[in-house]
A and B are shown apart, each in its own frame.
Chain A
Amino acid sequence: MLEGILIGLTTAFTGTNLFMVIGGCLIGTFIGMLPGLGPMSIIAIMIPVAISIGDPSAALILLAGVYYGAIFGGSTSSILINAPGVASTVATSFDGYPLARQGKAGKALTVAAIASFCGGTIGAILLMIFAPMLASVALLFHSAEYFALMVVGLSAIAAFAGTGQVGKALLMTFLGLIMATVGEGALFNAPRFTMGIMDLQSGFGFITLAMAMFALPEALYLVLDPARSNNEAGGEIKDLRITRDEAKQIAPVIGRQSIQGFLIGVLPGAGATIASFLGYAVERNIASKEDQEQFGKGSIKGLAAPEAANNAAATGSFVPLLTLGIPGSGTTAILLGALIALNVTPGPRLMIDEPEVFWAVIVSMYIGNLVLLFLNLPLIPYIAKVLAVPRTFLIPFILFFTLMGAYIGQNNATELLILVGFGICATILRFADYPLAPLLIGFILGQMLEDNFSRSMQLEGGIGFILERPMTMGLLAFAVLLVVLPTYRARIRAQGIADGD
């Protein structure tokens, strides 16, 4: 392994390759800030450039840099304007945006940058040591286990079922699950619930729905309620740096979530989105009572958890890609296509046949993460200033990015109508105090939940698979625990207080 690292270092530390990492990270970060362009589209755009370089190591280093940069940049729009452009940054906006509203945008961006850096770095170390071993473990997961894993992910909604909100949160989750069934399902070759509208045949777009649920209502709120646009801090950006105390608080969260996120990222059918939701749910459940109440209202723990988890998971998804040739996500699928075009065939033989490619990628992950950290920390005060812009400019700015985000990926103007329609519905629901995050979680997980469930049903010939497969059973039990435990703890505490009185 040491020998491998040396190969990687000598490959990565050439002038061109360093330039590739830095260039890739810069491009990724800046384009990634636009809500409509996730890592997948940015990598698709960069592939022709990468292929024209010709050298597989340099090309892969460039693309990997773009990938991390895009994930990193994606959290910026979640935090600043509540517009998550990628499913894996939805959880980031749960606490990141409330922090920004309290005038702590700078601190939120710093926490996100540090959590991402640690997640990515710990992920890269784990990748280096355990890649070959983990590849075979990932294959133990069948569709039945993926189904159970999605159920565990859904339990993240418990975080939004605060006092008296259980019914509302459940209702919104079901609404999200229902919306996920629109369009051609993976198990059925006819369109469902499309009402004959051709634009609905491939279902609702994630970005459209995310913008409609989060960013658009926020912009409408700013219009309807002028007082709200004055940040609670009076538009001033304060608290750029995190204190030693806060660092102490988030350190264990980042440590746990980097490892958990990495392990989930290794599974080809799971990925960064599930990792971020699970990270959020788990951290909320094990937090102390005071911290727990802060979740959703601007907890730095709630921000650090999904950020560390989704970056570690992104690194983890390189395990099946490099060792088995299996892409675990849309993004790694595009990377795989690029690799094949460069005459590199990922698989068990990659480490033996072309060690310089394998190790150069891993070493470039460290360098990429370092570059991102040093690139972003000094820029944060300037990026955070976006929020200090007067509302007459800020609102059109948010609306522009929201609408553009929904249009740009698909070039389909109907998306805009859907966006505005749902945006208005979402605003009404917000007035009625319905949480919108469970709807989006239900929507994101719904499709995967359904696909994996029906696949298992068909493979095992019935519902019996839940009883027959111990790992499925175990995961489902864990999901129940995640939902029941907080309620139980709350009850015990309530009794304790009553006794004290």
Chain B
Amino acid sequence: MKFTRRVLMTTAAAVMALSTPAFADGHQKVESIHFLIPGGAGGGWDGTARGTGQALTEAGLVGSASYENMSGGGGGKAIGYLIENAASQEGTLMVNSTPIVIRSLTGIFPYNFSDLTLVAGTIGDYAALVVPASSDISDMAGLLEAYKADQQGTAIGGGSVPGGMDHLVAAMVMKAAGEDPVGVNYIPYDAGGTAMAGLLSGEIKALSTGFSEAVALATAGEVRIIGVTAPDRVAAFADAPTMKEQGIDTEFVNWRGFFGAPGLSAEKTAQYQAALEAMYDTPEWETVRATNGWVNIHNSGDDFRTFLEGQEKEIGDLMRELGFL
């Protein structure tokens, strides 16, 4: 029996390959995923990758997950690494978010999202404009009135650099409201608390921020949300009016999602997409999602590409108008 060993091995391999999806509670989709995180520990990207990995492994959809933090160049180093070492990065998924679109446009990144394999956008956060709870501005109409009366004095702050996400959202809203987006006196703060301190101290009149952060502040009774960039009111905080219902036709989602190395095989891509798709129905994901206050916004494969191209065009046009490109 000369062939026994080889036959056995082939059979074993075939059985393994066939039965892998049936293993581990009968629904494991991928054996292991290596998450590449373009920033340091404790940041938003880090939380997204680790939370997703935790939900996937605990639910048995993925056998094991490992994580690697690679900061540098505001995320550019990790993208470069993934592209240059594409051949050996079959098992890697990189987490990223809206800034990849903005930074590619400005040329800070020599690469663009279309240089990577798009796997899926998994979660997102809408943007919101907030004013202090004690402010006499109560809605977008009030803010626009103040803006018309005194552009310089109606400063709007945010946690990103000029030309970054928070600025673009403020400009986008002003443009949709028929005002001049270039006139927005945008004041940049470091991410986190300093912008909020600026708002409460009265040096800025309104703050452009993420919706989930705005909800936390509004629940504490410190701010009033005067407009959300969602298509409909969000169930998590239904008191917050959308921009649309106030006659300002604009929508914006700060997404987070996963990318594979360029030239990732269609088979492998489909496996990752299946694992992520199946994740939404698991209680493990629901726990992680609720703890972090994330909103499920799922765009897989081609939908993800369409969404990103739409966002790239919209942001690109706006940035050209603002003079950043």
Chain A residues with CB under 8 Å of chain B are: 40-41, 44-45, 51, 138-143, 184-191, 198-199, 201-202, 268-269, 320, 324-328, 330, 332-334, 336, 340-341, 345-350, 409-412, 414, 451, 455, 458-459, 461
Contact = CB atoms under 8 A, between A and B. Distances in A.
Interface of B: 40-42, 68-74, 76-77, 80, 106, 108, 152, 155, 161-164, 185, 187-190, 192-194, 196-198, 200-204, 216-217, 219-222, 291-293, 324
B217 to A, nearest CB: 6
B72 A198 contact: yes
Given A201-B108, A347-B220, A455-B188, A328 B193 contact: yes
Contacts, number: 142
Contacts of B217: 325, 347
A203 to B, nearest CB: 10
Contacts of A348: 220-222
A325 B220 contact: yes
A246 B15 CA distance: 77
Given A186-B161, A349-B220, A459-B155, A201 B74 contact: yes
B72 A201 contact: yes
A458 B157 CA distance: 11
A153 B192 CA distance: 23
Contact of B187 (A330, A340, A458): A458
A320 B193 contact: yes
B33 to A, nearest CB: 18
Nearest to A44: B42
Contacts of B220: 325, 345-350
Given A187-B161, A320-B197, A327-B193, A202 B221 contact: no
A347 B222 contact: yes
A188 B220 CA distance: 32
A298 B202 CA distance: 44
9 contacts: A189-B161, A198-B73, A202-B72, A268-B197, A325-B222, A346-B220, A347-B217, A414-B72, A455-B188
A350 B217 CA distance: 12
B196 A411 contact: no
A409 B40 contact: yes
Nearest to A334: B42
Nearest to A199: B72
B318 to A, nearest CB: 13
* Most interface-central of A41, A140, A458 (chain B CB within 10 A): A458
A409 B42 CA distance: 11
B77 A269 contact: no
A347 B76 contact: no
Nearest to A329: B193
A143 B189 CA distance: 10
Contacts of A349: 220-221
Contact of A184 (B74, B185, B192): B74
A269 B197 contact: yes
A141 B76 contact: no
A422 to B, nearest CB: 17
Contact of B190 (A346, A451, A458): A451
Given A189-B162, A198-B72, A333-B192, A345 B41 contact: no
Contacts of B293: 340
A189 B324 contact: yes
A190 to B, nearest CB: 7
A326 B194 CA distance: 8
A326 B203 contact: no
Contact of A455 (B74, B152, B187, B291): B187
A138 B197 contact: yes
Nearest to B201: A139
